[in-house]
């Protein structure tokens, strides 16, 4: 899988979260599930979140990329966008995920790109396009998150 890639955050996000003693790449990730799957978030901003996932190790019994793996990638990217939109005083909680799978893959890496459809005060919706290395659509997903007020210790490490 190569060297781990660190997440690139826009300066305004770094400024917004500064001084909170938080590891942003760890907070805005898929946690242990993402680590086990090899999910890497390469760019994170409310306007666009990009991440990759290897096909190898994330397949179903026929050797194809598991639809659930695409769903994990999609939900992670959309959730990160929603959390960044909500900022340090809000929590994003997924309430609806829809995935349509277009093609099967047996190897390589998929890239997911989440872009907002709606960013409101109480909900966000992101469209996530998962593509293969030839930029062919593998999965189309949509995630809606509810934004809730964060308790005072929500982001303590």
Q: How many CB atoms lie within 10 A of CB 1?
A: 11
**12, 56, 75, 133: which one is catalytic?**
75
Going by C-alpha positions, the residue among 95, 155, 153 that lies closest to residue 122 is 95
Per the annotation, the verdict on 47 as an active-site residue is no
81 and 144 Cβ atoms separated by less than 8 Å: no
Mind telling me the catalytic residues?
75
């Amino acid at each position: 899988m190569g060297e781990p890639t660190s997440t690139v955050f826009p300066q305004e996000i770094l400024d917004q979260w500064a001084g909170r003693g938080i590891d942003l790449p760890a907070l805005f990730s898929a946690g242990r599930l993402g680590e086990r799957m090899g999910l890497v978030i390469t760019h994170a901003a409310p306007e666009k979140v990009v991440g990759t996932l290897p096909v190898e190790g994330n397949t179903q019994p026929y050797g194809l990329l598991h639809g659930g793996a695409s769903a994990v990638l999609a939900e992670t990217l959309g959730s990160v966008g929603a959390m960044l939109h909500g900022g340090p005083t809000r929590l994003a909680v997924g309430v609806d995920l829809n995935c349509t799978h277009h093609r099967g893959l047996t190897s390589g890496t998929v890239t997911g790109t989440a872009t907002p459809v709606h960013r409101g005060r109480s909900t966000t919706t992101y469209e996530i396009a998962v593509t293969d290395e030839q930029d062919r659509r593998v999965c189309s997903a949509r995630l809606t998150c509810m934004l809730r007020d964060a308790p005072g210790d929500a982001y303590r490490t």
